[in-house]
């Protein structure tokens, strides 16, 4: 994962404290909301060509388009004139043109032309659209989410690094990528990404005969290095048959799952084959997920990665999605569940989430409204 510092007290093994951790996490209810001041993956780069497109992420309808230099621009999709969807428009002379009345907007968000009033018209700031800091790395488009509007890397010159595992190359060689949309809140999707002990039951078609005992199982929380340190949750374990004896170091299914908080996951299940997933809220009830397999194998790496994604898509994720979407309640309080020691990684994620939500709420800054998906106008792309 991202480089991390192991200063005294920075690393905590927490697997044996699951009951205590549940008590501390569940002591207060926290409303589902989006983690502020973070990069979120919002679209595969290859899906955005010359034409603008509208997506919904983080409760906002956003228009994505490329300027004359091919740089990605992300803005509110609603035209401030009379509400048309700018994703139905086109790019003209490096500006986004509204499909309804031809108003044009620069990458900065400034309105540059009001055709019905002529070129000498004095355009007010009220006709500007909101623009968001954006980056394009690792074959993905990333949005910097700061609901308070108090910090913008684009304005301040700062730019926290994209949350990406150090173990993975920047190149897309030997990779295959898929997109999913789950009709569950972000928190429930995040739980699924750190769940190890469901595999023998939820995925018995793929893993027949795998042991059900998760032992040993280790969880640690560290801080990454750099100007903008992040919380990193590392989990590793062995699923084995319960023979009543301590683990001898041989046999069983070994794997590890790690999360760069809040939503970038690295999975390691076999030599030279890894996967990464990034999860992003669409709104309070739905989550967009991109996942990618890496196969560090000469010549056949791309094929192996494609086969891994095919199997994941057809045989694994459908089961996960079905179980997550049927779990209740959708918006849960931690006290709705009874966690066990094998859920220690999940509990650590919830502790971090709860701390961030309390800090955001304590800031007393007005949050942007969270909008439900709209069925009017142009189709909004969730995938």
Tracing tokens 């990779």 back to the chain, one arrives at 175
The phi and psi torsions of 15 (rounded to 5 degrees) equal: -65, -30
| pLDDT band with cut points at 50, 70 and 90 for residue 270 | low
* pLDDT greater at residue 67 or residue 156: 67
pLDDT digits (tens, 9 = 90+) for 274-289: 899 999 999 999 999 9
Instruction: Characterize 324-337 residue by residue with b for buried, 16 or more Cβ atoms within 10 angstroms of its Cβ, and e for exposed.
Output: beeeeeeebebeeb
DSSP 4-34: EE--TTT-EE-GGGHHHHHHHHTTS-----P
d(CA 309, CA 303): 10
Q: What is the pLDDT of residues 179-193, one digit of tens each?
A: 999 999 999 999 999
CA angle 186/187/189 to nearest 5° reads 65
- Which pLDDT score is estimated for 119? 87
CA distances for 315 relative to 199, 292, 323, 383, angstroms? 12, 16, 13, 20
pLDDT digits (tens, 9 = 90+) for 62-110: 999 999 999 999 999 999 999 999 999 999 999 999 999 999 999 999 9
Q: Is the pLDDT of residue 377 over 80?
A: no
| Under 8 Å between Cβ of 125 and 117 | no
Instruction: Report the largest interatomic distance among the alpha carbons of the chain, rounded to a whole angstrom.
Output: 84
pLDDT of residue 146: 84
Domains of the chain: 4-33+164-362 (3.90.380.10), 38-145 (2.102.10.10)
pLDDT at 337 over 50: yes
Per the prediction, the chain carries an average pLDDT of: 84
Residue 185 makes CB contacts below 8 A (sequence gap 6+) with 32, 281, 284, 285, 286, 287, 330, 331
Q: Report whether pLDDT(378) > 50.
A: no
How much is the pLDDT for 78? 97
Here the tokens at position 247 are 């683990």
Burial class, 96, CB count within 10 angstroms (exposed 0-12 / middle 13-18 / buried 19+): buried
Q: What is d(CA 176, CA 379) in angstroms, rounded to the nearest whole number? A: 26
DSSP state letters, 53-67: EEEEETTEEEEEEE-
Confidence of residue 159 (pLDDT cuts 50, 70, 90): low
Q: Are 79 and 100 in contact (CB under 8 A)?
A: yes
Pairing state of beta strands 111-113 and 104-105? antiparallel
**26: CB partners within 8 A, 6+ apart:** 333, 334, 335
């Amino acid at each position: 994962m991202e480089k991390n510092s192991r200063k005294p007290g920075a690393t905590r093994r927490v697997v044996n404290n699951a009951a205590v951790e549940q008590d501390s996490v569940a002591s207060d209810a926290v409303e589902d909301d989006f983690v502020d001041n973070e990069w979120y993956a919002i679209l595969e780069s290859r899906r955005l060509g010359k034409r603008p497109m509208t997506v919904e992420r983080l409760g906002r309808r956003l228009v994505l388009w490329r300027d004359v230099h091919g740089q990605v621009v992300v803005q509110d999709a609603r035209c401030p004139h009379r509400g048309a969807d700018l994703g139905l428009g086109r790019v003209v002379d490096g500006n986004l043109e509204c499909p309804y009345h031809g108003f044009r907007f620069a990458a900065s968000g400034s309105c540059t032309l009001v055709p019905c009033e002529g070129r000498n018209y004095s355009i007010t700031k009220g006709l500007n659209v909101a623009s968001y800091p954006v980056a394009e790395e690792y074959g993905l488009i990333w949005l910097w989410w700061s609901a308070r509007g108090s910090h913008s890397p684009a304005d301040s010159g700062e730019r926290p690094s994209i949350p990406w595992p150090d173990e993975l190359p920047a190149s897309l060689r030997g990779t295959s990528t898929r997109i999913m949309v789950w009709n569950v809140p972000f928190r429930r999707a995040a739980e699924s990404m750190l769940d190890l002990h469901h595999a023998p039951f939820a995925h018995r078609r793929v893993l027949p005969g795998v042991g059900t005992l998760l032992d040993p199982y280790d969880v640690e929380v560290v801080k990454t290095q750099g100007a903008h340190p992040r919380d990193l949750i590392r989990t590793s374990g062995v699923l084995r048959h319960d023979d009543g004896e301590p683990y001898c170091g041989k046999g069983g299914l070994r794997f590890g799952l790690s999360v760069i908080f809040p939503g970038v996951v690295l999975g390691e299940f076999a030599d030279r084959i890894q996967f990464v997933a990034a999860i992003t809220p669409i709104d309070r009830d739905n989550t967009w997920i991109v996942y990618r397999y890496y196969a560090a194998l000469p010549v056949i790496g791309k094929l192996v990665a494609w086969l891994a994604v095919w199997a994941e898509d057809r045989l694994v994720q459908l089961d996960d999605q079905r179980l997550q979407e049927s779990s209740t309640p959708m918006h849960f309080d931690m006290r709705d569940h009874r966690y066990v020691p094998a859920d220690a990684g999940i509990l650590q994620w919830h502790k971090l989430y709860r701390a961030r939500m309390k800090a955001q709420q304590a800031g007393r800054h007005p949050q942007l409204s969270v909008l439900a998906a709209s069925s009017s106008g142009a189709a909004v792309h969730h995938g």
